[in-house]
Structure 1
Amino acid sequence: MQPELPLVYSCSGCSSAAQMANSIALRLDREGRAEMSCIAGVGGGVQPLVRTAKSGRPIIALDGCALKCVAHCLARHGVVAERHFVLSGFGVEKKKQHLFSAEEIEGVYTRLLSEIDEKPAAV
Structure 2
Amino acid sequence: MTVSNSRGPLVYACSGCSSVAQLANQLALRLQTAGVAEMSCIAGVGGDVAPLVKQARSGRPILALDGCQLQCVRNCLARHDVTPTWHELLTDYGIRKKYRQPWSEEAAERIFPVLVDRLQGSAA
User: Structure 2 length normalisation: TM-score?
Assistant: 0.89
* Residues 1:77 and 2:80 aligned together: yes
Q: Which moved more, 1:92-101 or 1:38-47?
A: 92-101
Percent of aligned positions that are identical: 53
Deviations 1:25-48 (A, max 9, x none): 011111110000000000000001
Match of 1:114 in 2: 117
Deviation at residue 111 of structure 1 after TM alignment: 2.8
What do the CA deviations read for 1:62-107 (whole angstroms, capped 9, x no partner)? 0000110000000000000001100000111110000123222101
Measure, in 2, the Cα distance between the counterparts of 1:51 and 1:41.
Answer: 11
Gaps of 5+ in 2: none
Give SS of 1:29's match: helix
Of the three residues 79, 88, 92, the one matched with 1:89 is: 92
Is the CA contact (8 Å cut-off) linking 1:2 and 1:35 kept in structure 2? Answer: no
2:75 alignment partner AA: H
- Secondary structure in 2 aligned to 1:103? helix
Stretches of 4+ aligned residues off by more than 3 angstroms: 114-119
Kept in 2: contact 1:60–1:83 (CA 8 A): yes
So what's the TM-score if we normalise by structure 1? 0.90
Q: 2:74 and 2:109 mapped to 1: Cα distance?
A: 24
Asked if structure 1 preserves the Cα contact closer than 8 Å seen for 2:66 and 2:72, the reply is yes
Structure 1 unmatched runs, 5+: none
| Preserved contact between residue 21 and residue 67 of structure 2 (Cα < 8 Å) | yes
Matched, 1:36 2:39: yes
2:116 is paired with a residue whose SS is: helix
